[in-house]
Amino acid sequence: MAVLCNFRHFLLKKRLIVVGTDDDGKIARAGGSGLQRSACHVLRGDIVEDQKITKILVSEEEVREMVARLGADITAHYQGIQKELMVIGLLRGSFIFMADLVRQIKIPLVVDFMTVSSYGDGTISSGDVKVVMDLDSSIEGRDVLLVEDIVDTGRTFSKVIRMMRNRNPRSLKTCTFLNKPGARLVDIQIDFCGVDIANEFAVGYGLDYAQGYRNLPYVGVLKPD
């Protein structure tokens, strides 16, 4: 039987959750159904020993709740639209968020993707935004929801918003999973926002550092080198 050690306990939604390391030194969490061995079940503020993550900004559970809330808000906003909603994701960062979000939007929709480059492989915005792969379909006369992983300086999203407006959609709204208000250099309107975070470099749930860490199921901050 696995033994949980170095544990701390939390009350989460009235359930006692115990998080610690199991006998292999992996992070484990014991809840109602016993001990689940997984490096994924981490809570915000936890220290994660693997994958060079120093702390959790948004836990898996918080991601799920946030996506459900955004899906419900978007569904309510677009009730009764005439044609399917066009949900456009900016690749690559938004791909996981998009996949979860569209399943929480309970009205007919279609998806399309665009790739713009702004950062290269570093962590500092160059401000130079290029369209690497354009949409497949026309957005003229359509209700469009633009989906971004994170709005940092706002340069990328503001350029994409301007580009999309010039294509004459019927309406254009914006949604971002993460928002860094403290880093903003360009004022933009965000209609549906997951959560504001501090001015730290976030990875996971689609967000990368040098193309890595996108597959983490939570959002964390990298340890400094």
Q: Which residues bind ligand IMP (CB under 6 A)?
A: 93, 118-119, 125, 148-157, 201-203, 207
Q: Is 152 an annotated catalytic residue?
A: yes
Q: Which of 50, 152, 187, 208 is catalytic?
A: 152
In which residue are the tokens 């009764």 written?
Answer: 80
DSSP 8-state assignment for residue 68: H
Q: Which among ligand IMP, Mg ion, none contacts residue 207 (Cβ within 5 to 8 A by kind)?
A: ligand IMP
Please count the other Cβ atoms lying within 10 Å of the Cβ belonging to residue 156.
25
Q: How far apart are CA 208 and CA 191, in angstroms?
A: 24
Q: Which residues within the stretch 83-102 sit at the binding site for Mg ion (CB under 5 A)?
A: 93
| Interface region with Mg ion, contact rule CB under 5 A, candidates 58-66, 71-79, 99-107, 144-152 | 144-152
Sheet holding 85-91, edge to edge: 130-133, 109-117, 85-91, 143-151, 171-179, 192-196
Tell me the β-bridge partners of 29.
19, 36
Task: Quote the tokens at residue 125.
Answer: 């915005």
Nearer to ligand IMP, 7 or 119 (CB): 119
149 binds Mg ion (CB under 5 A): yes
Q: Which residues within the stretch 195-214 sit at the binding site for Mg ion (CB under 5 A)?
A: none
Nearer to ligand IMP, 22 or 208 (CB): 208
Catalytic residues: 152
